[in-house]
Amino acid sequence: MHEEPDQDSGDIMAGDRRLSRPDSSLPDWEMPDGAYRPIPIVWFTGAFFLQMIALFAIAVLLSAKHGLFTIVLSALITGMIGAWTWSRGMKDAATGWKAATIAMLGIQLLCVCLAVSDRL
């Protein structure tokens, strides 16, 4: 026996699925009450991967050069990635995200510096 859902409970039946919003005339992908709001983890992760790839490429391309070239170029790229991340929205993020981003950028730069220290 099929039992009708309580219309006041907020759940609407759509076939054998249950929709939690009362406007079931919209398709599932449409979210009229939502908007895209980037979150700090997106900016953090973007900066992390971009810096990781850029520093790896610099380290490989300058592997035959003096270590100071690698360090200076890596620091410059890290500063540019940090500025780009801040302008994307990290400046408005919580203090924890800001600190984590600065620490992550610094740690990856430190790893490159330690890796090329034998060429100084």
How deeply is 98 buried, as exposed, middle or buried, from its count of CB atoms within 10 A (0-12, 13-18, 19+)? middle
Identify the pLDDT of residue 24: 53
Identify the pLDDT of residue 86: 96
Identify the pLDDT of residue 96: 95
Q: Which of 85, 88, 48, 56 is nearest to 73 (CA)?
A: 56
3: part of which helix (H) or strand (E)?
none
Contact 85, 101 (CB under 8 A): yes
Tens digit of each residue's pLDDT (9 = 90 or more) over 72-119: 999 999 999 999 999 999 999 999 999 999 999 999 999 999 999 999
For residue 15, name the pLDDT band (cuts at 50, 70, 90): low
Tens digit of each residue's pLDDT (9 = 90 or more) over 16-72: 555 555 555 555 566 655 555 678 999 999 999 999 999 999 999 999 999 999 999
